[in-house]
Structure 1
Amino acid sequence: MAFTPQTWPGRVIPADREQAELATRKLFGELFPGHPVTSQAIAILNRWFDAGWCVDAIKVALDNLPEGREGFQPRRGDQESPEDFLVRRLRKWFREEDDDFERNARLAPPRAGQSLDMHLRLKRQQQINDGLVSRPRRLTEAGQQARRQVRERAGKGRPDPIARARARDARVQQALDALAVDVPPAHAGEGENAPDDRRDSQLVAAYAARTATVRHDPTVRRILARLTEERRRPNAQETIILRRAVRAAQQRASLGTLAAATADATNEVLNPDAQRILTYLDHALNSGLTLDQTLALMHTQVDTLDTP
């Protein structure tokens, strides 16, 4: 259950720093409205919360003296800060016996507190007594039997995943054996690594085509030519324009790749970007060279075709 400083129960003793901060903010909201909750105030009240005091007990102690002591608590001064006020008022609630060797020993709180769990249980019981919450109904015989079955299944644990995988593979193999059809392996006679080599070369060609699309973009070429001629780095405005141009070229390359992949099925007229990508795919090769060397070779071949 989530609490706010306004809804924090005044009789609950904070059990951790988060609850102590909620209690401190509740106290400040009631006694010092408008004043910020400082780390000094949190540190002062944390020591009292650690000693078993709650917000209601601190409020009573601020207005009263311990039992058996005469006098009264002086009012808060106009220039007195909330932190000084807390220290001055709560100082009266330290023990003063000569035989007490415990440093900073505090008296028993003037109002007993309770834990958060106890507060929630009492609140729940009060809601049940007031008819706000219905009492939990007892399970029927069928419900109790279902509970026992669920507990038995949970106690057995889940099946071994390896055993499930082996059983699934066995069922698949039985289904294949029942078909009794000999299916020749794909790409038979092309060598052991032929499919992988062809796929790798196509991936390299597609990558080369996308980089070429960016490289041939007019805006990119114009900015790079200017920077090369002036031998300088791009300024902030040129960097923004260059990034936008590269991003737009990458998007066109993605659309061109899709159009080139479906060119045979749709018979549509390809735009220049898609045609360039299709040309690169047609020149996919497995040269055994490094990636940079393969890219340079493909760029040279395609650029030679584009040159009149």
Structure 2
Amino acid sequence: NEFDMSNHFGNIDIPIYHLGGWFDVFLNGTLKFYQGVSKNGKSDKTKQNQRLIVGPWVHGPTNIDNRFAGEFDFGPDAALDFNELRLPWFDFWLKGKNNGIDETKKINFFVMGKNEWKQADEWPLNNTTYTKYYFNKKLNGEIKSLYSGTLSDKKEIENSQLSFTNNLNNPVPSLGGNTLSIPNGVFEHSSVDKQCITFSTNPLENELEVTGPVSAEIYVNSDQENSDWVVRLCDVDQSGYSRLVCDGIFRSHATSGEIQKIKIDMWATSNMFLKGHRLRISVTSSCFPRFDRALNNGSEESKNNILCGGSNASYITLPIINS
């Protein structure tokens, strides 16, 4: 609680330019802080003069002038000059220069996939439809994973489950993502996806923009008391390149075999899934060393199940932007 700023938003009375990256380890805090001060700041002036910029970046101002995040090239427009962002802000608020910075859109965000910047005055965006995509057992087969199921906005009627073994001595590795001291950003993710249970759409017939908070609600059980549940969203192009979009983890505690419904916060993103691309969900129980492993009184393995369809339909909720 000593690091929780949510109880102090009402004491903040200063304009703030919030800066974050889609692969920044502190992304979630940046978004919450922007929203919190914008809504609960001490004065109307403070509430109205919060600004937010989020690019396809990893953590740190030295990474802003960089078109790459990890190995992936997001194009020349991804790289911005840090001084060109902050100097007009300071000139207006500290030197009184009337440069119009107070009249700009409040939010500037980079849409990956399309690789372009967009502006808005609210977060999440007003033209958002939160849409459930269900994890269905129907075989897709687009990748040789532990099981290649189907991701669809229609859920299967029948209850089913898919099982996998989590081995503490051979955990599914982390590869990029929102980390700080280990390789972060985007790397080709198929080698990790193959070690997971996956659910994929068919190739898209039209572009699909996903911008905003992402979460998954899944039904699970395990033969051990402690289990980690990782859900990851990737953008898969026609060549099969799997690009990480966002992910999340939740540690459950339950008696052996107990079915739980858990919600996984996958933070937020902005990504345009292009025509011909697929959405791929990966489900596993480790992401090491980014997250520590769930230990179970010396047991090296756990048999974990994710439930699908019917009354136990697992799904991801995507913020679809209406064009």
Q: What TM-score comes out, normalization by structure 2 length?
A: 0.17
Q: Higher relative contact order at CA 8 Å, sep ≥6: structure 1 or structure 2? A: 2
Please state which structure has a larger fraction of its residues in helix. 1
Larger radius of gyration: 1
Please state which structure has a larger fraction of its residues in strand. 2
